Structure formats: C-alpha cells, structure tokens
Amino acid sequence: MTLMEFLNQISLVSFIVLLLSSSTTILNPVNAAESCNFPAIFNLGASNSDTGGLGAAFGELKSPKSPNGETYFHRPSGRFSDGRIILDFIAESFGLPHVHSYLNSLGANYSQGANFATYSSTIRIPESIVPNGKFSPFSLGVQVAQLKDFIPNTKFIRSQGGIFATLMPKEEYFSKALYTFDIGQNDLTAGFVSKGLPHLVRASVPDIVNTFSAHIKDIYNLGARSFWIHNTGPIGCFPFILTTFKVTLKDRYGCSKPHNEVAQYFNQKLKEAVVQLRQELPQAAITYVDVYSIKYSFVSDPKKYGFEQPLVACCGNGGFYNFNNKVSCGGTMDNGNHVGACEKPSTRPIWDGIHYTEAANKIVFDQISSGAFTDPPIPLNMSCQRTNSSIRENLHHVKLNKQGFGLYHVT
C-alpha cells in the first residue's frame, strides 16, 4: 500500500465517522439538549385543570362536593375528579407542588406557580355567566388580565420582605416557567347549548381559535417562553352530551359523531394556529398536545386500560349514562340523598359525565409526557427547548443515503 492510498483510507474513515456523528446529532436532536428544569408552572384553562378556582369565587354554590377528591385527597380539593388531574401529574413530574388556584388565597403558596383556571371557563367571553348563567366569568381574557396583574404585584411583595415574600415566585421564574393550557371545550359546549346544531358551532371555531392565539401572544409579551397546549377531548363521548342533546348519529362506539367532528375541527384549527404562532413568536417553544386521541381510546379500546362502561359516569344519578343535568356528582337529590360514586373509580374513565377519573388522567399524562402524542414529538421534560418547534421539520428533510450511513427520512 502506498502512502497516498493509506492517507486516502484514513480520510474516508474520518469522513464516515464524521457523517455518523452528524447523523446521530440530527437523529437525536432532543438527546443533544438538556432537560428542562422548570422552576414554576402557570396554568390557564377550564375545569379539566381547575384546582379550586371557581369554588373559591362562589363558595358552596360551585365548590365540588364529596365524593370529589375521595381517591387521592380523601376530601373535596376543588378538583372535578375523584383524585388528581393532569396538571397535578405535570407538577409532580418536575418535583413541584400541586399548583394552587390564584383565586383561592387561603393557605396558598405561589412561589412555584399559580393556577388561573376555573370550572366552565371559555376562550371567548360567554353570554351566560355564573351565578345566574352557566359559564365562568373568568374567561381566558380575564385569566390573562389576572396574570398581568399578578406579575408586578409579586415583585412588590417580594421587595417588602417578610413571610409573604417567600410565598411569591422569583422574578426570573416568569420567563423560565412552563405555561400550560387546557381550554376550548366549553366554547363548543356553549355553542351547542345556544345554537343546538353542531354545524353552526363549527362556523364559530375560527374566531374562537383566533382569540386564543391573541391571548398566547399577550402572555408571550409578558415574558413567557415555554407553552404546553392541550387540544380538546372527544366531547361527543360525554354522558353530558349524550343525555342533553338528541343524538341521532353515533359512531361504532356510541359517541355522538357530529359533536366529535366539531371537536376534531377545533383541534385542527388549533394545531394550525400553533404552527403560525411558532413563526410569529420565534423565541417561544410551543408544544401542541393531542389529548383527544388518548381519551377517545378509552372508549374505542377500554379493556386496554382496564376500563369498563366507558360511556357511563362513575359519579352520577340515574339514566342510561348515569347522568342528570339537574343533580350533579355530590349534589342532593329530591329524596335528600347525595349523589355518590361507583364502587371502583379506577375502572372507569369518566368521573361525573364531563370530567375524568384520576386513573384516566394518569394514563393521559403518561402518554403525553412521553412525547408520543405531541407536536413536535418530544417529551414533556424537553418542552422548554426553543428548537423543539423545528425538530419534525429537520427530521423531515433527513434522507437515507445510498451507502446507508444511518440517515433516514421521517414522514
């Protein structure tokens, strides 16, 4: 072997090593980045993530009563579930305390976040609000206004020192925190109640999503950079929908097909909005989270999760779906008895006809936190990475070369 041939072989080996090294970086962009260390969580949303907001605002009128909370907290905890909700599991995964409601100041510690969500909240301002109407007065715009007020007030309280200063988040937490969202379901429900026909509700979806995008931009302008956005679930599978509305067209699993189609359309427009937001807010890491698919699988394949009667509420009062609009879970019936829960909530996905059991919430969390149901497909603990919005796009352009050096194409 001549000296020139030897040097050429070394160059070829070096090239292959370099190519393999580069492909590893391209194929594993998440692994190359550091895990997120969120110091706080700020949540905005509706009842799926309410930890006591509307109950604090309206007391006995809207507080969830026993048996809510029986599985984990062993008492009503402001959550509409037998135990923990998805937000609780998100907080626990980062070693953070459960996020206290902004409206419930009694015993609250906001040093690692705050929750602005309330039961029956909507993205747009609702026409009918509690206490005389059906929906929360704390729509998303109001929650954003509360957050805007919260930030400078915490700074002032910290500057005063003392015990109250220790209960406030540090100033830098607002830019480093995870901002979570679960809202939009009630906008669709409000439309179904007022308009009746699902296709009329569908027509309002673009404006609902545009309003949501505008509020995301407002929060971004406050310094938020990491966004975790849930889509809406299969509302056509809720006992509430199946009992309240005359459903004539059902899918093979017994869910209302027209109502689910509206939910799917909302999710489609929301995903499109997220893509647009990534372009307009280049410093933000925005993750779209598909909870719809997981929740629908509770109905389409309940045995996979050990569930039974997936369309029947665990805590309810009579009827085919064990749901009564007049007397909800924990309420008092005409005979003086309280509406109780099924014997084993862990075997049911639906808790009260609208919300989910702790068992179902835990499964949803496990799935979405892995990145299997997110766009981009990254785990929760990597969702602060700014590059996450381009991971899928980067992988899409990686081609399998003729030599098979480990590069591949992702569809």
Return the number of other C-beta atoms located less than 10 Å from residue 216's C-beta. 25
- Which distant-in-sequence residues (6+ apart) come within 8 Å of 404 by Cβ? none
101, 256, 355, 375: which one is catalytic?
355
Give the N- to C-terminal CA distance of the chain in Å, as an integer.
Answer: 45
Contact in structure between 126 and 133 (CB atoms under 8 Å): yes
- Told to judge if 88 belongs to the known catalytic residues of this protein, a careful annotator would answer no
- Give the integer Cα–Cα distance in Å for 383 and 385: 6
Return the number of other C-beta atoms located less than 10 Å from residue 46's C-beta. 31
SS (H, E, C) the chain: CCHHHHHHHHHHHHHHHHHHHHHHHHHCCCCCCCCCCCCCEEEEECHHHCCCHHHHHHHHHCCCCCCCCCCCCCCCCCCCCCCCCHHHHHHHHCCCCCCCECCCCCCCCCCCEEECCCCCCCCCCCCCECCCCCECCCCHHHHHHHHHHHHHHHHHHHHHCCHHHHHCCCCCHHHHCEEEEECCHHHHHHHHHHHCCHHHHHCCHHHHHHHHHHHHHHHHHCCCCEEEEECCCCHHHCHHHHHHCCCCCECCCCCEHHHHHHHHHHHHHHHHHHHHHHHHCCCCEEEEECHHHHHHHHHHCHHHHCCCCCCCCCCCCCCCCCCCCCCCCCCECCCCCECCCCCCHHHCCECCCCCECHHHHHHHHHHHHCCCCEECCCCHHHCCCHHHHHHHHHHHCCCCCCCCCCCCCCC
- Told to judge if 366 belongs to the known catalytic residues of this protein, a careful annotator would answer no
- Give the integer Cα–Cα distance in Å for 327 and 313: 13
352, 369, 375, 383: which one is catalytic?
352
Strands 285-289 and 113-115 turn out to be: unpaired
- CA separation, residue 215 to residues 15, 26, 147, 212, 292 (Å): 49, 34, 11, 5, 22
- Residues belonging to the active site: 47, 352, 355
